[in-house]
Amino acid sequence: MRLGHFDDQAREYVITRPDTPLPWVNYLGSEAYFGIISNTAGGYSFYRDARLRRLTRHRYNNAPLDNGGRYLYVRDDAGGEYWSPTWQPTRRSLENYSCRHGLNYTTIQSTYKGVTVRTRYFVPLGETLEVWQAEITNGRTQAASLSLFSAIEFCLWDALDDATNYQRNYSTGQVEIVEGVIYHKTEYRERRDHFAYFACSEPLAGYDTQREAFLGPYRGWSEPAAVERGESGNSLAHGWQPVGSHHVRLTLAPGETRTVIFVLGYHENPKDDKFDPPGSQTVNKRTVKPLIARHLQPATVEAAFQGLREYWRGLLDNLQVQTPDPHTDRMVNVWNAYQCMITFNMSRSASYFESGIGRGMGFRDSNQDLLGFVHMIPDRARERILDLAATHLETGGAYHQYQPLTKRGNNDIGGNFNDDPLWLILGVSAYIKETGDWSILDERVPYDNQPGSETPLYEHLQRCVRYTLDRLGPHGLPLIGRADWNDCLNLNCFSDTPGQSFQTTTNKDGKVAESVFIAGLFVLAAKELADVADRRGPAGEARRYRDAASRMEATTLQQGWDGDWFRRAYDDSGQPVGSKECEEGKIFIEPQGICIMAGIGVGDGRALKSLDSVKEHLATPHGIVLQQPAYSRYYLQLGEISSYPPGYKENAGIFCHTNPWIMIAEAIAGRGDAAYDYYMRINPSAREAVSELHRCEPYVYAQMIAGRDAATHGEAKNSWLTGTAAWNYVAITQWILGIRPTLDGLQIAPVLPGAWPGFSATRRFRGVTCHITVERTGPGNSVELTVDGVPQTGDVVSVPGDGRTDVKVRARVS
Ligand code: GLC
Ligand code: GLC
């Protein structure tokens, strides 16, 4: 069953009923000011950091889940009836509800008793504010006297403190109301030089800033007393819970439409010019007033919206494809690319599943996310790499996470996740392949952000390789440390105390437990770095990396091969994990994917054997589960993975991030049908038809789909912020469609499903637009290439040196 549909032309998903199984959300903002918005206008906003600069409040795990947001109320002043045009929070039965989630904007429209309200929410480029553009139309045959109320609840900035430290916070809230603008200035009197503001384009009939004055005692957002009586309380918040609510009265003739604009924003003042007049406690508003005035003008707002549309067109134009399959087209051309941009901005910090107060930017996560956005925003990818590398440690290890506002590594969680550094090599090499910008290797980057410790980025990469080689275990495989890619395989943890963090508890010395996954990742990364070193490193260095890679490859085949698949690890007592010898958890997906991607076993038939085992033991109609059999009980020596009930998350859930590794492995093995089949099983658009089962948004990937051991096999969770976005984008665009950046140019090496006659694509690559046509003329995967009619040797399009900015690329696949 579908709960909406794709509008491919407009690049929007249209939700046609408000009571979706879960909040179906979208993101506002793509630079510094961000918001999450649900299909009922729920959600919250923040500046840069969802934890440290939260503008509006969100109550986690609320009932209903989606409660609190950017709300409007319309009141019929004739009879006193009122409703929310975004359905929440009053939940009246609306006529004609629709929510259109577009690229960084959302428009919610509904009609109730002849009054239509259409509200568009977005963040103008270059600004730290959001606009709500509400169009109210009187479709009745009589004039309508209406009241319009806005409502937001301010967060007292630090979202964790805001949600816990009431003995202080109930006394700190402060606002000012000047010329109809509500200024939220909690803690501005002391160390903050930023404040929030909430403005409205119309003259006000009243306002409220104290929550209980607006709602009334023992009332929630569904029945605010001020709305019910049709009159604001003109309340001034002092302590308690500051809110922002404007009250506007409108009289609309039959057929008349009026636009009312609300602006919610974040503003910083110079530290020494915070107050006006100086010495007072009044916020200096000179710097912000012109901004507010400008964004309350319909013409400015319209132009800003067009600018946003243009910006997204530009980003997506970097790769557009036309294939025989509409699900592939809409994911590649719009939604998957969009989701990659959202993971660029959010990492795993703020969603309806990630509170925004826990994790900042993950080191391994951000490096992988980069694979999905580097072709759209190469400059920002460069900056991201340098930020990440600055949290690298002199040992070659890395902080597991960093806080986006400070860009410092998180001490709470620290490092010792032994896979982390290797991902930096993949991130940097992807950047160079896309841009050809070798100068990044010479950038001087500190360790742990310590001034004076800078070395060229290239040396950071050298230390990443060293880090693994310095930490080998009894089988010659890399020691796992706290965990590898699978955060929940905690082989040195041995925790038997409730509440201990699986991520940071370590009861063992870490000298025994080894990871076959890191071995595979090492081989992949060392080969990548060797390719870079060929062109850049000191003499002989590339060969040393290749030698290290082949030694690790041999060790993996010797110690990591189980007979029909790659093993997963060795635990602290030297017992295999992910082996036939195990009682549960006999086969894992991750080493099958990463080892084959690294080329291990590809020449000798073991790759095919491993993939056949994946098919036999792990594949389900809803995707490939992480391991089998699921752990039926808690294993002290395995950690968090066995803490999840069978079928969920890392314990045999369909952890979607890993599925594209198998798609890529199948492509490497030359099996286009299998690769594409796996791609379609988790493709969100293809799963739209089972929305009642899937439950999450049909336009983005979720981290997890419940595995076959779960009661709700096929149900998705943790949508939006997941490495699934980048890896699926890589799998479909670079391996199945085969349009793959390399150090030497753009490779065209499709491994297509057998039934496809071909496809076409436009790819911008290093300043050249490649118009690509792929035509199948035989059943295999060999490619014959012409560029502007000239036959090429090999399958790589090199960037023309003669100033051509457009080339016609034709590939025959046979
Ligand atoms: C989450 C984490 C990621 C980890 C994965 C598997 O997605 O963000 O870092 O690799 O889980 O545990
Ligand atoms: C939890 C999650 C896992 C995530 C980790 C991040 O263990 O299950 O998916 O990677 O937290 O810290």
56-91 confidence digits (pLDDT tens):
999 999 999 999 999 999 999 999 999 999 999 999
CA distance 577 to 75: 63
Query: Residue 413: its pLDDT value, please?
Result: 87
User: Which DSSP letter does residue 238 get?
Assistant: B
Which class for 563: exposed (0-12), middle (13-18), buried (19 or more C-beta within 10 A)? exposed
Output phi, psi for 705, to 5 deg. Answer: -120, 135
Q: Which residue has the tokens 């930490």?
A: 471
- Is the Cβ–Cβ distance between 407 and 449 less than 8 Å? yes
Instruction: Sort residue 224 into left (φ over 0), alpha (ψ -120 to 50) or beta.
Output: beta
CA distance 10 to 106: 12
- Given a cut of 90, is residue 460 above it in pLDDT? yes
Query: Residue 624: its pLDDT value, please?
Result: 99
Pairing of strands 806-813, 768-776: parallel
Per DSSP, the three-state class of 199 is: strand
Q: What would the DSSP string read from start to end of 489-547? A: --TTT---STT--TTT---S-SSS-EEHHHHHHHHHHHHHHHHHHHHHSPTTHHHHHHH
Return the ligand 1 atom nearest residue 655 CA: 6
Beta bridge partners of 5: 14
CA distance 118 to 132: 10
Query: Residue 404: its pLDDT value, please?
Result: 77
Query: Residue 464: its pLDDT value, please?
Result: 98
CA of residue 498 to ligand 1 center, whole Å? 22
- Residues contacting residue 411 through CB under 8 Å, at least 6 positions apart: none
Beta bridge partners of 28: 35
Clarify whether 487 is annotated catalytic: yes
Residue 27: what residue type? Y
Q: Which residue has the tokens 């299909």?
A: 39
User: Which DSSP letter does residue 275 get?
Assistant: B
- Is the Cβ–Cβ distance between 796 and 747 less than 8 Å? yes
488 C-beta closer than 6 A to ligand 2: yes
pLDDT digits (tens, 9 = 90+) for 373-411: 999 999 999 999 999 999 999 999 999 998 877 889 988
Which class for 92: exposed (0-12), middle (13-18), buried (19 or more C-beta within 10 A)? middle
pLDDT digits (tens, 9 = 90+) for 685-698: 999 999 999 999 99
- Residues contacting residue 168 through CB under 8 Å, at least 6 positions apart: 161
Nearest CA to ligand 2 atom 10: 487
CA of residue 623 to ligand 1 center, whole Å? 17
CA distance 642 to 651: 6
**Which candidate, 741, 809, 725, 734, places its Cα nearest to that of 437?**
741
Query: Residue 43: its pLDDT value, please?
Result: 98
**Which candidate, 675, 713, 716, places its Cα nearest to that of 593?**
675
Which class for 760: exposed (0-12), middle (13-18), buried (19 or more C-beta within 10 A)? middle
C-alpha count within 13 angstroms, C-beta hemisphere, residue 672? 23
- Given a cut of 90, is residue 32 above it in pLDDT? yes
CA of residue 144 to ligand 2 center, whole Å? 53
Nearest ligand (C-alpha, residue 723): 1
**Which candidate, 795, 662, 681, 682, places its Cα nearest to that of 736?**
662
- Residues contacting residue 170 through CB under 8 Å, at least 6 positions apart: 239, 240
CA of residue 116 to ligand 1 center, whole Å? 44
Between the two ends of the chain, the Cα-to-Cα distance in Å is 39
User: For 422-435, what is the mean pLDDT?
Assistant: 98
Output phi, psi for 596, to 5 deg. Answer: -70, -40
Q: How many CB atoms lie within 10 A of CB 789?
A: 7
Q: Of 419, 650, 718, which is best to mutate to test ligand 2, by the most ligand atoms within 8 angstroms of its C-beta?
A: 650
Dig out the tokens for 693 from the structure.
């089962």
Query: Residue 649: its pLDDT value, please?
Result: 98
Return the ligand 2 atom nearest residue 348 CA: 6
Peptide bond connecting 290 to the previous residue in cis, omega within 30 degrees of 0 = no
| Catalytic residue selected from 66, 158, 484, 487 | 487
Dig out the tokens for 813 from the structure.
């696949």
- Given a cut of 80, is residue 359 above it in pLDDT? no
The rounded percent of the chain whose pLDDT value lies above 90 is 97
- Is the Cβ–Cβ distance between 457 and 445 less than 8 Å? yes
In total, the chain counts a number of residues equal to 814
CA distance 457 to 439: 10
650 C-beta closer than 6 A to ligand 1: yes
Dig out the tokens for 731 from the structure.
């799998």
- Is the Cβ–Cβ distance between 527 and 545 less than 8 Å? yes
pLDDT digits (tens, 9 = 90+) for 196-208: 999 999 999 999 9
Q: What is the mean pLDDT of the chain?
A: 97
CA distance 330 to 345: 22
Output phi, psi for 411, to 5 deg. Answer: -75, -25
CA distance 648 to 715: 10
Nearest ligand (C-alpha, residue 701): 1
Q: pTM of whole model > 0.85? A: yes
Q: Of 487, 502, 643, 727, which is best to mutate to test ligand 1, by the most ligand atoms within 8 angstroms of its C-beta?
A: 487
User: For 430-452, what is the mean pLDDT?
Assistant: 97
Query: Residue 537: its pLDDT value, please?
Result: 76
User: For 314-321, what is the mean pLDDT?
Assistant: 98
CA of residue 651 to ligand 2 center, whole Å? 12
How many H helices and E strands in the chain? 20, 42
364 C-beta closer than 6 A to ligand 2: no
Nearest CA to ligand 2 atom 4: 487
726 C-beta closer than 6 A to ligand 1: no
Return the ligand 1 atom nearest residue 348 CA: 8
CA of residue 491 to ligand 1 center, whole Å? 16
User: Which DSSP letter does residue 749 get?
Assistant: -
Per DSSP, the three-state class of 417 is: strand
Dig out the tokens for 67 from the structure.
């409660």
Per DSSP, the three-state class of 118 is: strand
pLDDT digits (tens, 9 = 90+) for 154-165: 999 999 999 999
Dig out the tokens for 809 from the structure.
């690329």
- Given a cut of 90, is residue 360 above it in pLDDT? no
**Which candidate, 493, 494, 491, places its Cα nearest to that of 515?**
491
- Is the Cβ–Cβ distance between 455 and 443 less than 8 Å? no
Confidence of residue 364 (pLDDT cuts 50, 70, 90): very high
Dig out the tokens for 671 from the structure.
């099996």
User: For 791-807, what is the mean pLDDT?
Assistant: 95
Return the ligand 1 atom nearest residue 364 CA: 9
